[in-house]
Structure formats: C-alpha cells, structure tokens
Amino acid sequence: MVTYKTSDFKKGLKIQIDGEPYLMVEMTFRKPGKGNAIYECKLKNLIRGTTIKKTLRGGDSLESADVLETDMQYLYRQGDTFVFMDSETFDQFELTSEQVDDNWKYLKDGMNCQMVFFNDNPITMSPPNQVELTVEYCEPGAKGDTATNVTKPVKVETGAEFVAPAFINEGDVIRVDTRTGEYVERVKA
C-alpha cells in the first residue's frame, strides 16, 4: 500500500487511519525554532462524517486510503435513500441521507456526480462544483430597490433555499457553487 510522507501532505489527500478512510480538509505547517517541523491536520472521516485533528512531526507518514472515485448519475430519491447509477455498467447504488449530507440541495434527476467507494462499498458523493437550479419561489423585489448587495432567500427546484440578489425572480435559473452554497450568477436563457 502507498504511504504519504509529511512532504506529500496537502488538502484533499485521502488517507487511512485505523482502517478507516479520512479526507485531509486542512493542513498547516509550522517550523518551531528548534526541533522537527510540525504538521497540524484536520481530517474528516469519510464513513461517519466526523472530524478529528492530528498533529504529526516531519518524517512521519500516513497510509493512503484504498478509495475509488467513480462518475455516477443521480436517478431519484426514495424517502431517506438516494439512488445512483453507473452509466457504463448500469449498476445501481444507494446512499443514505447521512452519507449524502447537505449535497441533496444540489441533486437534480440525471445529474452526474462523483461517488467515493471504500472496500467496494459507496460511502459518500459529491456534486459538480457548480449547478444550475430553477427558482420556484421567492418574494418579489421591492420596486426601486437598486442598492448594491441587497439579497433575499429563494427556494429552488430541489427544495433547498439559497440567498440570492433581490433582482432574481421566480422561473429564473441561477448558478450555485456547491462547495460554498453561495449564489454565483443568473443564467441567461
């Protein structure tokens, strides 16, 4: 199995600790006056979703996680279960609402996503970095309210709510960044 030395540490690295896969969410490097360099890592458990902090010294190493990322197509939601399909083999996989987490806000039928497998079992998924969603409900903007940075909540086709500029109306298509959950722009029809 591949091991990563501290010089290989970076955000997004998938490692294994005590037989469980972790994602390196943050990594800070410190070099004290004397002694080895210190690497402070924030790690997210890919199975449970919990976060831990781990401090390592220069020269330490971590085992790589045996994870596989595959393109999947989102099919539908059935209660608390989300169903995805491999476009090549047509195999279907299910994830629970805990595994999908807040990513449900961005899922539209037929959308392509990345699914992460650990020991041949699906453990989590991630949508594309940006998605286009149709606004189904929002309060009308106040007439003449042209001040900059005026925002309002809008409800989109997935049932999620986002904060968008006041000029957005029902039926508009907006682009949302799935990494931050923030409005990016209105999509021209």
Task: Using the predicted structure, report yes or no on whether residue 146 has a pLDDT greater than 70.
Answer: no
With residue 100 as reference, give the H or E element that holds it. helix 97-100
Q: Are 97 and 47 in contact (CB under 8 A)?
A: no
* The token pair that represents 120 in the structure block: 């041949």
Query: Can you give the length of the chain in residues?
Result: 189
- pLDDT of 100 higher than 80: yes
Quote the pLDDT of residue 127.
Answer: 93
* 8-state DSSP, 129: S
- Position 60 scores a pLDDT of 86
Residue 57 is predicted with a pLDDT of: 86
All residues at 6 or more sequence positions from 158 whose CB lies less than 8 Å from its CB, including other chains? 104, 105, 106, 107, 108, 133
pLDDT tens profile 39-82: 888 998 888 878 999 988 888 888 988 888 899 999 999 999 99
Cα separation, 85 vs 97, whole angstroms:
17
- What's the pLDDT score for residue 183? 92
Name the band, by pLDDT with cuts 50, 70 and 90, for residue 143.
Answer: low
Distance CA 48, CA 23 (A): 12
Contact assessment for residue 108 and residue 178, using Cβ atoms and an 8 Å cutoff: no
Domains of the chain: 3-64 (2.30.30.30), 67-126 (2.40.50.140), 130-187 (2.40.50.140)
Q: Is residue 10 pLDDT above 80, yes or no?
A: yes
Amino acid letter at 162? Answer: F
Residue type, 35: G
Q: What is the pLDDT of residue 109?
A: 92
Res 145: pLDDT? 57
